[in-house]
Amino acid sequence: MMDEKKPARDWPEKLLTWFDGHKRDLPWREDKPRNPYHVWISEIMLQQTRTEAVKPYFNSWMERFPTIHDLAEAEEAEVLHQWQGLGYYSRARNIHKAAREMEETYGSRLPDDKAAILALPGIGNYTAGAILSMAYGKKEGAIDGNVLRVYARLYQVEEDILKSRGRKEIESLVEATLPDRAGDFNEALMDLGADVCIPKNPRCSLCPLAGECVAFRNGKEKELPRRSAKKPPKEEAAACGLCIREGRVLLHKRPSKGMLASMWEFPMALAEKEEDAKKGLEQLLSGTTEDCLWTYKHVFTHRIWHMKAYPVKEVAVPEGEYRWFSPEEYREIPLAGPHARLAAFVEKMVD
């Protein structure tokens, strides 16, 4: 007789059977055996980004950097430019640093030892588990948000999954249920969480584990998992200057550390209020702003920019890293996040 408080022991096999017939067709899964480099890059790209959005970035990346050696040989600006649009640019920098370490230490290959992988820049427990299980066939878990959600419902975990106690409970459950086909199992959990056991309205009628799920059995599938409320993001007004001379636009290189480090942007001033941001831009460029030509709301993890772009008259170029670029030139440099969208708009003006 099945224990009403937990799933049947054979649920991992049921999930793998479902996965064998329903796995998603993804470009980083095409290699047989799996390419560790492809697993690594795809998993970093998939952090905070939808799978469908990642596909073209992954394909473009592999065309430009087909091997770890090619990546290690590239300049940082080229790597950042290739990453442009994915956000979280520190991840691209860490990928580049890790590639150079692998070039020097491991002959341009990803090590198959957990401690060695974890020592590389930008690789944590989840990514290490994904590489080791999917590419090297090792019995390692890979716990991401999808896995936390599936296990919280499957075992009706009432603890907050974002806090230590709840996460440790799920880590213990993953360790206890991990089958020999760990790589396929980890991907099956990800696919189930992405397509069926989704956050707000889980598609329980499609789930191969509905009969095993304790939360579903008790009508709690929409209540779980429990997550502590996030602090609302800080909202800022961002005034951007459109300075155009003889078909060239003025851009600024951000500092080498901090948010969007070393990326290029249009001259910009931030403030709590729109008028203060606009005044700050005029002071920065010692010029006069005209009517706004472009607006955009860009959402980061912890802040929101309400962006407006203004043509600026009688510009005095500030001290620091400011340069004039033609459209042909700024297409080849890493533009900071939403400034790439503004560049596309400005390009039409320049033409």
* HEC profile of the chain: CCCCCCCCCCHHHHHHHHHHHHCCCCHHHCCCCCCHHHHHHHHHHHCCCCHHHHHHHHHHHHHHCCCHHHHHHCCHHHHHHHHCCCCCHHHHHHHHHHHHHHHHHCCCCCCCCHHHHHCCCCCCHHHHHHHHHHCCCCCCCCCCHHHHHHHHHHCCCCCECCCHHHHHHHHHHHHHHCCCCHHHHHHHHHHHHHHCCCCCCCCHHHCCCCCCCHHHHCCCCCCCCECCCCCCCEEEEEEEEECEECCEEEEEECCCCCCCCCCEECCEEEECCHHHHHHHHHHHHCCEECCCCEEEEEECCCEEEEEEEEEEECCCCCCCCEEEECHHHHCCCCECCCHHHHHHHHHHHHC
Residues 6+ apart with CB under 8 A from 333: 77, 81, 251, 264, 325
Q: Specify burial of residue 164 (Cβ count, 10 A radius: 0-12, 13-18, 19+).
A: exposed
Cβ contact 237:271 at 8 Å:
yes
d(CA 84, CA 61): 11
Candidates 4, 13, 30, 43; catalytic one: 43
Cα separation, 87 vs 151, whole angstroms: 29
Lookup: tokens for 10: 């054979």
Based on the residue annotation, tell me whether 13 is a catalytic residue of this protein: no
Positions annotated as catalytic residues are: 43
